Amino acid sequence: MLRDAGGIALTSGAYAVSCGAICTAAGLSLAQTLALSLLMFTGASQFAIAGVIGAGGNPFAGAAVAVLLGARNALYGLRLASLLQVRGARKAVAAQLVIDESTAMAVGRESGRAGRLGFWATGIAIYVLWSLGNLVGALGARFLPDPEVLGMDVAAPAAFLALLAPRMRGRGPWAAAAAAAVTALVAVPLLPAGVPVLLAGLVVAVLALRLPARPPTGGEDPGDRANAGTTAEEGIR
Amino acid sequence: MIWYAVIAACVGCYLFKLAGLSVPDRILRDGRTRRIAALLPVGLLVALIATQTFSQGNHLTLDARAAGLGAAVIALLFRAPFLVVVAVAVATTALIRLFLS
């Protein structure tokens, strides 16, 4: 299991390099990029705030999108709470390590001890390599000339697409995707940059309440991914 | 201003993580909460993709980024790894700009 944790962490380190580069290309300073990787430590949210700021949007709209994307970690924490049994300072530390990969490596183990080992080993290994990867990406991107000439402005949307792909199982996600795309594009000429994304999130939340009780997604359950052994390709979301 | 947004976002993300370990099960186990949590990331990611590919400021646009995103879709259909998907999109966009400029 420790080898699995190391392998997943190495893959995350590679994602982290692109995350650091995208943050820098979006105009974030090195300190801001590192603050995101050390303090936020949830990949999709980091890509999101960098993406909105890079596209000229209001930084607080970017922050709101990032926090909403991070909301799924609360569901992971719910599954982990009874397994980890942490209190006080250990709980404060454990909370920061609650991400897709550490949850996937913890749930569905044969024993509680193995689950706890999976959580801590994966969480700590990824935390270290994620931060190093962001540092390398941020420093590397400083040597690039005009990001637009190099097509770097499409790096964030492409990264979002790769994060999105494994979630597109079943009709619910496709309906949500269509509603979000239409809402966001219709809102672009009417609202300040960044806000159309929040509006799309609101529309999807309302839509989610109107869909049948159990949409066949499965994409939100990290246990499925751990069992299928696909964690390496899926990365931090 | 960016610093305030960065810190606020970090605090918000951390509080969600901590909430999961702290609040009673029944709140987050609620069916409505779970349905929103399952679809919200999809909606936000799609909206981010759409606005960052097809708009510039307050204008809808169709430019080299759309081709880059199309290339990324093809790379994903071939099950390419994450970094390859991003690299293919970036390279396609850069090449098209090179030829059109």
Which ipTM did the prediction report? 0.90
**What's the pTM?**
0.81
3-class secondary-structure state, position A99: coil
> CA B85, CA B74: separation in Å to the nearest integer?
9
Q: Is residue A217 situated within a structural domain?
A: no
| Listed range (A87-91, A199-203, B27-31) with the worst mean pLDDT | B27-31
- State the average pLDDT over residues A9-38: 91
Model pLDDT for residues B40-65, shown as the tens digit of each residue? 889 999 999 999 999 988 899 999 99
Q: Is residue A131 situated within a structural domain?
A: yes
Q: Is residue A20 situated within a structural domain?
A: yes
> CA A85, CA A130: separation in Å to the nearest integer?
26
Among partner residues B13, B21, B97, which is closest to A42 by beta-carbon distance?
Answer: B13
Quote the percentage of chain A above a pLDDT of 90: 51
Number of structural domains found in chain A: 1
Q: How confident is residue B28, by pLDDT bands cut at 50, 70 and 90?
A: low
Q: Is residue A220 situated within a structural domain?
A: no
Q: A151, B91: Cβ pair inside 8 Å? A: yes
**In chain B, what residues touch A155 (CB-CB under 8 Å)?**
86, 89-90
Using the 8-state DSSP alphabet, how is residue B60 labeled?
E
> CA A112, CA A110: separation in Å to the nearest integer?
7
Among partner residues A70, A167, A213, which is closest to B12 by beta-carbon distance?
Answer: A70
Nearest CA in chain A to B23: A78
Q: How far is A1 from chain B (nearest CA, A)?
A: 23
| CA quadruple A190, A195, A200, A203: dihedral sign | negative
Q: Is the pLDDT of residue A234 over 60?
A: no
Q: Is residue A15 situated within a structural domain?
A: yes
The vertex-A207 CA angle with A203 and A212, nearest 5°, equals 170
Q: How far is A7 from chain B (nearest CA, A)?
A: 15
Using the 8-state DSSP alphabet, how is residue B30 labeled?
S
C-beta of residue A196 within 8 angstroms of C-beta of residue B47:
yes
Residue A169 backbone dihedrals phi, psi, to 5 degrees: -110, 130
Give the model's pLDDT for residue A227. Answer: 39
Q: Is the pLDDT of residue A144 over 90?
A: no
> CA A100, CA A176: separation in Å to the nearest integer?
21
> CA A45, CA A237: separation in Å to the nearest integer?
8
Among partner residues B37, B53, B76, which is closest to A75 by beta-carbon distance?
Answer: B37
Q: Is the pLDDT of residue A235 over 60?
A: no
How many CB atoms neighbour CB A56 within 10 A? 15
Nearest CA in chain A to B81: A233
Q: Is residue A188 situated within a structural domain?
A: no
Model pLDDT for residues A157-192, shown as the tens digit of each residue? 998 898 899 889 888 999 999 999 999 999 999 998
Among partner residues B32, B51, B89, which is closest to A55 by beta-carbon distance?
Answer: B51
Q: How far is B89 from chain A (nearest CA, A)?
A: 6
- Which of the pair, A145 or A159, is modelled with greater confidence? A159
Q: Is residue A56 situated within a structural domain?
A: yes
C-beta of residue A20 within 8 angstroms of C-beta of residue A48:
no
**In chain A, what residues touch B12 (CB-CB under 8 Å)?**
63, 66-67, 70
Q: Is the pLDDT of residue A62 over 90?
A: yes
Q: How far is A168 from chain B (nearest CA, A)?
A: 8
Nearest CA in chain B to A65: B44
> CA A30, CA B2: separation in Å to the nearest integer?
13
Q: Is residue A197 situated within a structural domain?
A: no
Pair of tokens at residue A94: 């454990």
Q: What is the residue range of A86's domain?
A: 2-169
